[in-house]
Amino acid sequence: MFYTLHQDNGRASDDLLKLSDALEFQENEIINAQDKLRSTRAKIAVSEGKIALAIIDAQKVVEEKQKRIDDVSRALQVLRTACIVWPGSASVVFLTGSFDGWAIQRRMEKSSLGVFSLYLKLFPGRYEIKFIVDDEWKIDPLRPIVHNNGYENNLLIIT
């Protein structure tokens, strides 16, 4: 009976050791899981901070773009439509001027009556213009004329 009791104690002791090992293993698993959870929460907090900064930056960009849109809208309200006419006869007429730094020669439309015209949207100001009539640079003698660095141009005033 002593042997049986001793065997039972031995098994119980083995079982207790196994249970103790299992408990320690489970505790380590819990500690590791808690560490992972803390690490994940820290990463989430960092990500949330980065997202918050990105949102603030995006809001600043949106505000700047909205300000530019508002500025352009106000500027566009100041634009005036000007109709420029070449009264003489020609096959083809272009208009160029200081309103764009003399960069583009704009083709004027010929009406059924033979009058060439072109509509431009310009800011108020003083501009020099010149007509290219059948490949010849000309001024309109009916418009005001200015002399600038040896060149003769028409004056266009937009109010």
Residue ranges per domain, the chain? 1-78, 79-158
Q: Is the pLDDT of residue 4 over 70?
A: no
Q: Is 156 a residue whose pLDDT tops 60? A: yes
Angle, CA 30 vertex, CA 28 and CA 31 arms, to 5°: 65
- Which residues are CB-neighbours of 115 under 8 A, at least 6 positions away? 85, 86, 87
Q: Say which DSSP state 111 is in.
A: P
Residue 20 — pLDDT band, cuts 50, 70, 90?
confident
Q: Which CATH superfamily is domain 79-158 in?
A: Immunoglobulins (2.60.40.10)
The pLDDT assigned to 76 comes to 81
pLDDT in tens, 111-147: 999 999 999 999 999 999 999 999 999 999 999 999 9
Distance CA 64, CA 12 (A): 76
